[in-house]
C-alpha cells in the first residue's frame, strides 16, 4: 500500500505511559498504518529528527465561545499541541440569546473569564439566536483544530427567564420545562454536554453573580 505521509525519525510519546522511543510513522488515507522503521516510499516525507511526535492533545476546558466566531486559529491552544478543544464551560457562553440580552452575556464572560468586553463586542457578529443556529455558524467556519461546544446554563436561563434569570430568581415548572427542551434541542444539534457554575466567585464585569448561582451559596439553581 502506498504511503501518503511518512513522519521519519521522531521521538514518539504515544500516551500509553511507556517511555519515549524513536520511530517512523506511516499515514495513509488519514490513518496511521505503521509505526517503526519504515523503508517504503511516501508521497510526503516529514523529517521529525529532534522533534517530539505525540497524539493530539485535548483541552477539555476552554472559553473560545467568542473567539471561535471570528478567528480561524484557536490560539494559544493551537500553539501547544492541542488538536481538540471543548468550549462552553463554567455555564457562560453566547447562545441561546435574545438581542436584548447580548450585552449581559458579554458582561458575564468578561467578568468570569476576564476576556475584555471590548474585544467580544468588536468580534462577535451575533448571527444566531438559538443554540443550534450558533452551532451551524461555527460549522460554517474553518479552524486549525476540532472544537466541541457545551450548552451553558447562564445564557439558557436568561433566554427563558429574562430579567428573573438575571436576578437569580428560582425557576418555576414552566421555566424548567423550557430549559429542558432547549437542552434536548442543543444535544440533538451536536452539543457535547451541559455546563453550569457552582462558584460564588464567578461574577459579571459589573460584580453580579452568575444567573446559575445564588448569593452566599454554592448551590446551583435548578
Cα three-residue angle 14-16-21, rounded to 5 degrees: 45
Q: Is residue 222 part of a domain?
A: no
pLDDT value of residue 81? 86
Q: Is residue 207 part of a domain?
A: no
Q: Is residue 201 part of a domain?
A: no
Average pLDDT across the chain, whole number: 94
pLDDT value of residue 205? 95
Residue 34 CA to residue 132 CA, distance in Å, equals 39
Confidence of residue 199 (pLDDT cuts 50, 70, 90): confident
Q: In 3D, which of 135, 171, 137 has the Cα closest to residue 154?
A: 171
Same domain, 66 and 10: no
Q: Average of pLDDT values for 12-20?
A: 92
Position 167 pLDDT exceeds 60: yes
Same domain, 26 and 116: no
Percent of the chain residues topping a pLDDT of 70? 96
Q: Domain residues for 113?
A: 57-195
Q: Is residue 221 part of a domain?
A: no
Confidence of residue 220 (pLDDT cuts 50, 70, 90): low
pLDDT value of residue 219? 54
CATH number of the CATH domain containing 68? 3.20.20.140
Q: Is residue 138 part of a domain?
A: yes
Cα three-residue angle 221-138-161, rounded to 5 degrees: 25
Position 3 pLDDT exceeds 80: yes
Same domain, 168 and 69: yes
Q: Which DSSP letter does residue 168 get?
A: T
Same domain, 30 and 135: no
Position 146 pLDDT exceeds 60: yes
Same domain, 81 and 166: yes
Q: Which residues of 81-97 are buried (b: 16+ CB within 10 A; e: fewer)?
A: ebebbbbbbbbbbbbbb
Q: Is residue 215 part of a domain?
A: no
Same domain, 105 and 180: yes
Same domain, 35 and 138: no
Total domains in the chain come to 2
CATH number of the CATH domain containing 48? 2.30.40.10
Amino acid at each position: 500500500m502506498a504511503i501518503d505521509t511518512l513522519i521519519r525519525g521522531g521521538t514518539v510519546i504515544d500516551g500509553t505511559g511507556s517511555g519515549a522511543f524513536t520511530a517512523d510513522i506511516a499515514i495513509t488515507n488519514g490513518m496511521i498504518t505503521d509505526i517503526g522503521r519504515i523503508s517504503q516510499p511516501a508521497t510526503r516525507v516529514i523529517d521529525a529528527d529532534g522533534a517530539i511526535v505525540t497524539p493530539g492533545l485535548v483541552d477539555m476546558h476552554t472559553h473560545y465561545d467568542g473567539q471561535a466566531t471570528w478567528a480561524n486559529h484557536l490560539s494559544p491552544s493551537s500553539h501547544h499541541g492541542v488538536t481538540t478543544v471543548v468550549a462552553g464551560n463554567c455555564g457562560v457562553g453566547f447562545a441561546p440569546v435574545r438581542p436584548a440580552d447580548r450585552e449581559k452575556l458579554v458582561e458575564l464572560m468578561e467578568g468570569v473569564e476576564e476576556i475584555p468586553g471590548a474585544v467580544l463586542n468588536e468580534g462577535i457578529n451575533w448571527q444566531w439566536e438559538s443554540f443550534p443556529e450558533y452551532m451551524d455558524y461555527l460549522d460554517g467556519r474553518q479552524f486549525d483544530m476540532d472544537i466541541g461546544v457545551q450548552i451553558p446554563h447562564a445564557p439558557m436561563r436568561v433566554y427563558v427567564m429574562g430579567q428573573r434569570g438575571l436576578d437569580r430568581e428560582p425557576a418555576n415548572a414552566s421555566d424548567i420545562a423550557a430549559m429542558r427542551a432547549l437542552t434536548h434541542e442543543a444535544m440533538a444539534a451536536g452539543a457535547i454536554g451541559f455546563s453550569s457554575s457552582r462558584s460564588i466567585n464567578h461574577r459579571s464585569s459589573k460584580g453580579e453573580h452568575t444567573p446559575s448561582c445564588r448569593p452566599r451559596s454554592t448551590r446551583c439553581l435548578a
